[in-house]
Structure 1
């Protein structure tokens, strides 16, 4: 029988079945804390456990992955709770893509989806498991999730190259990067899907930053290729929403308020994608979306270049073939982004209805307004100046 909700739990340190099967060499406290979180949710860790975690975090012998895990465990207790700590992005950081190695993101997405499928399979086969016991999906839904995760891994899988990370690093990062706040089974799914999307937007931001850098070389085709690559990355991940849609709205609402203070509006990667495409208007920069990511907002004010400014400066010098090539790439990315936002809005509407957002916004109405934001809005205005058929509305005449 589960403990009453709202109470805290301190248990003797024990090793989980999964850790034993995987031959874990990580510190006992980290493994036992992780197990408690996967049984009861992070919000129900007792003061004794939190003090042990705080002391162990200060130990110089604690490895970087476990130290970041401890930081995430303590985020609410230390008033640092955010989207970043909820998704344990600093735990994932060693595997996140960088400008030098963008495609490592494909490896990470694959690892996260595999872990999600293994969790669903494990709890499906072991009905007596104490891990996240509330709101378990039925047999068919669990199997559907496993199949969808496998199909997504195939669709977004990394190129057939040698893995860039050691098995031990991958194992530790994946194991310690999911910290549900509740004991709701579907919160595991929720966290993993959001982590996949953060990885996707980090890949896109790195690709578009590289595209901006390439604009200085004058090679139009190379810039267009990178813009198309960013669009492809987003399109390949579109199935993640269908995976998330297997979660009944009631299951999401059961843990949603415990995530108050953590919102996707705080995603830095998403905002970086935006500023590499075009410097947002001042009202957008002063909106909750950018006020919640001060580092990106400061970068937006730093006068950096963008793909839109490059287009507006250079299009008069391009050949017809180059202009067509760039326009095609811009269309692909804008359409992919608009499709993603529409789907996000639809999923959110079914999950939360008219409830307010957890990031201080008005929820669905905010997302609806955001569908009007275009990545390459200055190019639309430029078309307006030269084409009287442009309607000044939500889209460009060429999208």
Structure 2
């Protein structure tokens, strides 16, 4: 791989962001794997970052891309840079003020873009031996199973977006139809986002799947955090039915992610172990989205707040220390309002649905982690692994309180 395109960009008197050679850089990263990118490339990328103040054009995306590409060189590598989350428009309760239906539509579109890109990658590997990430490619049976689960995972979002694909029994043929249809609607911005958010550490084929599935989970976590914040606001305003409805909606969205677990389970254990040795420093316990969800449900106790999981998300810890509201606290505040009991069944049902969905998600996560790691191996980045997940998987979602029947006190 020749870094000449990057040399030419740097040689310009006034480089522009829209002419930055993203494709050349990404091709190099996918050819070598981030762990093994030659210094001839990373030195030039550092030069590009130093020149950012004089570059013309919007610099936000390029700055985020360079930060992500140079994380290992800088010693900043973690879960968020591994997944290039700075380059994905993930909803956030602090910065999102759009109506719920518009937020859902945006999430659905990005969700389908991520999965369609994964499907396209799998098809390219079937069609060509020159496709990127050539190591440990799965057999044909695994690929067909993988495509079938990816299509299932995309189906609810595609339905809400009114995207109709003529059904066929062959998952490969159906996947080709989906990718052809998606290509028509894909914008230049979509293509840039998909390209710049795929910087694997290795050249192992299954790492592409791993990254895209985790990005899809993080996207959903972001929207769930927005839903929980909206439910807390509704409770504070005494709109218990609205809060219950929002929680039911969040539960439904979380249940929709179940096929993502089936998709991830098609990852070959030997492939996972081949690339995970290069992910030291990046662990899912650093997931900001998941910590937001957990802390919005119930304020963590001091021991949990000082755990490695929360120390890895300092902004969430700050929110909590500054008095972030939670569903648990909001329910305490309204429990004495007997006039609200008429609306309690809807709220109780929403709480039950969401609590059940979270617990099922945790248990599925644990089962898959045991399959990949066993019960004694450490997790990614030397984190506690499956023993940690076993300890936390049945933690209460709303403190010690969970409604047992419609009409019960929602505490």
Query: What TM-score range do you get, normalising by the shorter chain?
Result: 0.7 to 0.9
1:304/1:96 Cα in 2 relative to 1: closer, same or farther (>3 Å)? closer
The answer as to whether partners of 1:39 and 1:130 remain within 8 angstroms in 2 is: no
Q: Is contact 2:298–2:398 with CA below 8 Å preserved after alignment?
A: yes
Say whether residues 1:99 and 2:96 are aligned partners: yes
**1:328 lines up with 2:349 in the alignment:** yes
Unaligned residue ranges in structure 1 (runs of 5+) = 1-9, 16-24, 384-397
C-alpha separation in 2, matches of 1:86 and 1:355: 21
Deviation (angstroms), 1:14: 7.6
Partners of 2:311 and 2:382 in 1: CA distance: 11
Change (3 A) 1:357 1:236: same
1:124 alignment partner in structure 2: 126
TM superposition shift of 1:320: 4.2
Alignment CA distance shift 1:177-1:143 (3 Å): same
- Write the mapping of 1:201-212 to structure 2, written as runs, cut at 5 A: 201-212=221-232
Structure 2 match to 1:115:
117
CA distance in 2, matches of 1:13, 1:374: 55
Structure 1 pair 339–109 and aligned structure 2 pair: CA distance change class (3 A): same
2:53 matched to 1:61? Answer: no
Choose the corresponding residue for 2:80, options 62, 81, 84: 84
Q: Which moved more, 1:208-217 or 1:355-364?
A: 355-364
Alignment of 1:189 onto 2:181: no
Structure 2: segments with no counterpart, 5+ residues: 7-16, 164-181, 405-409
Q: What is the aligned partner in structure 2 of residue 11 from structure 1? A: 2
> Counterparts of 2:395 and 2:159 in 1: how far apart (Å)?
31
Q: Secondary structure at the match of 2:394?
A: coil
The 3 A distance-change label for structure 1 pair 181 and 332 is same
The TM-score, its normalising length taken from structure 2, stands at 0.82
1:32 aligns with 2:52: no
Residue 52 (structure 1) shift: 1.3
- Partner of residue 155, structure 1: 156
Relative distance call for 1:305 and 1:299 in structure 2 (3 A) is same
Taking the aligned partners of 1:117 and 1:349, their CA distance within structure 2 comes to: 26
Q: What is the number of equivalent residue pairs in this alignment? A: 365
Is 1:347–2:347 an aligned residue pair? Answer: no
1:325 to partner: Cα distance: 1.5
**Cα distance in structure 1, aligned partners of 2:295 and 2:325:** 9
Q: Secondary structure at the match of 1:373?
A: coil
Once the 2 structures are TM-superposed, how far is the Cα of residue 227 of structure 1 from its aligned partner? 1.1
Give the C-alpha shift of residue 109 in structure 1: 0.8
RMSD: 2.7
Q: TM-score, normalised by structure 1?
A: 0.85
User: Could you give the per-residue CA deviations for residues 228-257 of structure 1, whole angstroms, max 9, x where no partner exists?
Assistant: 111111101111010000011111000111
Match of 1:369 in 2: 391
Cα distance in 2 between the residues matched to 1:74 and 1:137: 30
Greater Cα shift, 358-367 or 173-182: 358-367
Cα deviation, 1:200-251, whole Å, max 9, x if unaligned, reads: 1001001111111222321111111111111111101111010000011111
Deviation of the 1:295 alpha carbon: 0.9
